[in-house]
Amino acid sequence: MWSVFRKLCAVGGSILAFISSAVAENLQLKMPVACDLGRTCSIQNYVDVDSSSLAKDYKCGTLTYDGHNGTDFRLRSLDAQRAGVNVLASASGRVLRARDGIPDGSFLKSAREAVRHIECGNGVVIEHPDHWETQYCHMANGSLQVKPGDLVQAGQPLGQVGLSGLTEYPHLHFTVRHRGRIADPFAYDAPSGACDGGEFLWDPSLREQLAYQKRAILNAGFTNSPVTMDLIEGGAAEKELPTIEAPAIVAFIRTIGLKAGDTQWLAVTNPSGHVIAENHAIPLDKNKAQVMLFAGRKRPANGWDQGTYKASYVVKHDGEIVLKKDFELTL
C-alpha cells in the first residue's frame, strides 16, 4: 500500500562516497521522530510479518494490518502536528529521492483516488551503506529540508510530520529496506512464523523506550462538554479545561490497540472522594485500532466544589487489569 516514489532522481554514482571497502554492518537506527514515546507519540502499527492474507506484528500481536510495511509513529492530535514535530534521519546516508508539494489531508477531503500512486505523500528515501534504505512518509506539505543528493547525518531534521498521502491521522510511516526487501527494525531476519527473535536494529539505548506495548493510551484529560473522536483528534478537547464555572466536568480517554473481550471502566471522583460520574463500557466485540471513552456530570445547582477531581481508567481482559491510568484536575 505504501508505495515508494515512482521516479528515481539521478544521483552521481551507484555507490555512496562514504562506503568503505570493508564489509558493512547492519544499520543502527535512531528515533526518526522528535517525540517522546508514551507521552507525545505512540506506535500505532508495526510491520506485518505474516505473508498470508492475515496480519500479525513481530510479537504475533494485532498492531498491524495486511501488507503494512513499516512502523507508524503517531502523534497525539492534529493540534500537535500543526505545532510542528520534526522528522529525523534515522541513520547517516545520502538522500536518494524526495517529494514535496502534496497537500495535507487530501485523503480525508476526497476519495482514495486523490492519493493514488502518491500514497506515501510527501517524503524522503535515504540510502545507506550495504544496500540499506530508510523511507519517511506522510510528511507535512512544504516542510522538506533536504533534496536528492544531500548527505545527511543521523538525527538531522528532514522535515516535519504531516497528513499527506494515504493517512487518516498525523504520523510518520517509517520503512526500512535491505537489498530491496522490507526489513522489520524490531526483528530483522527473524525466522518465518516466529513470535520473537531476529535482530533489534535500533540503537541499544532505545530498547526500553521502544519496548512492545500491546495497548497504549494516546490521550487523557478533562474538558467541559461532551467529547467526540474529532474533538480529541483535533486537539480541541484538551484545550477546554473546566473552571469553577464550567457547565460540566468530563473526563475522557483515547486508547489504541485494545483487544476483543477487553472491558473498560472510567470513573470521576470529587474532592470529597465521592464518585460523581462513571462509564462501564460493554466488552469489545473485536480488536480496535482506537477507542474513546468519557464520563462526566453537569454542573450541580450549588456549583462545583473547589479542590481536586480525580479520574481512574481501567481496562481488564479475562478479569485481569491490562491497562490503567489515573489523572486529575484541580479547580
CATH of the domain at 61: 2.70.70.10
CA distance 256 to 128: 33
Residues contacting 119, CB < 8 A, separation 6+: 1, 2, 3, 137, 165, 166
My answer on whether 132 and 79 are in the same domain is yes
My answer on whether 188 and 226 are in the same domain is no
In a domain, 32, yes or no: no
My answer on whether 184 and 135 are in the same domain is yes
Spatial strand order in the sheet of 288-298? 216-223, 248-258, 288-298
CA distance 220 to 213: 17
In a domain, 95, yes or no: yes
Which portions of the chain are predicted below pLDDT 50?
A: 1-24
CA distance 297 to 225: 9
My answer on whether 202 and 227 are in the same domain is no
Instruction: Please tell me the predicted confidence (pLDDT) of residue 156.
Output: 98
My answer on whether 247 and 130 are in the same domain is no
In a domain, 29, yes or no: no
Q: Report the predicted TM-score, pTM, of the whole model to 2 decimal places.
A: 0.90
My answer on whether 237 and 178 are in the same domain is no
Q: Tell me the longest C-alpha to C-alpha distance in the chain.
A: 79
My answer on whether 106 and 64 are in the same domain is yes
| Domain region containing 78 | 41-206
Residues contacting 40, CB < 8 A, separation 6+: 75, 76, 80, 85
Distances (CA, A) of 320 to 153, 253, 311: 46, 20, 20
Distances (CA, A) of 175 to 1, 128, 185, 241: 12, 13, 9, 38
My answer on whether 196 and 309 are in the same domain is no
What cell was used for 236?
480541541
Instruction: Please tell me the predicted confidence (pLDDT) of residue 110.
Output: 63
Q: 267: domain CATH number?
A: 2.60.40.2550
In a domain, 162, yes or no: yes
My answer on whether 109 and 57 are in the same domain is yes
In a domain, 10, yes or no: no
Query: How would you classify residue 142: left for phi > 0, otherwise alpha for psi between -120 and 50, otherwise beta?
Result: left
In a domain, 20, yes or no: no
- Using DSSP's 3-state secondary structure scheme, residue 233 falls into helix
Looking at the structure of the chain, the number of domains it has is 2
My answer on whether 96 and 140 are in the same domain is yes
My answer on whether 260 and 151 are in the same domain is no
